[in-house]
Amino acid sequence: MSTAYSIRVYKQYFNFASSHFMLFKNGTREPLHGHNYRVQIKGNALDLENLNDDMVFDFLNIKPIVREVCDSLDHKLLIPRNNPHLHIEEREKNYILSTRDESFFSIPQTDVLILPIENTSAERLAAYLAYQIRDKVLEKFKFEFKSLEVEVEETPGQAAVFVLTKDH
């Protein structure tokens, strides 16, 4: 019989307020708008024998990492670098964004975060956060969860979840 352990961490400060717009497959986009996102994570370990000091991972070590990743998205316009319907150009200190529906934006680079994702959906943001958290935990603590589940809530009661397994 095998057992599994996990930690779930959700602090009030695991949040970020960001703006975005979704780009759809037909080239249209939704209006620019924002959310007050909330984040929670669940890190899974294999079994009791694999627990370090009888813990999956120390809460004191994971909280600053999640907060750092959330803070990096805070008060930014989130732009998906990998979307084929969006053209991004750097001009002086601005990003010039243009879409297939002929929308055009000129925004200071300091207000924008260009992410290596296909779209700025809650699902894609959850995946981005999961990889960022995994990489920082691995770099700082040489530790990897069996799986890492990241939930990104756009509005109360409306969230997307991404599960990153150790073999990804």
5-165 carries CATH number 3.30.479.10? yes
Closest CA to 154 of 129, 127, 123, 132: 123
Summarize pLDDT for 113-152 with one digit per residue, the tens.
999 999 999 999 999 999 999 999 999 999 999 999 999 9
Q: What is the pTM of this model?
A: 0.93
Summarize pLDDT for 72-105 with one digit per residue, the tens.
999 999 999 999 999 999 999 999 999 998 899 9
pLDDT for res 1: 44
Cα 133 to Cα 65: distance, rounded to the nearest angstrom = 7
The size of the chain, in residues, is 168
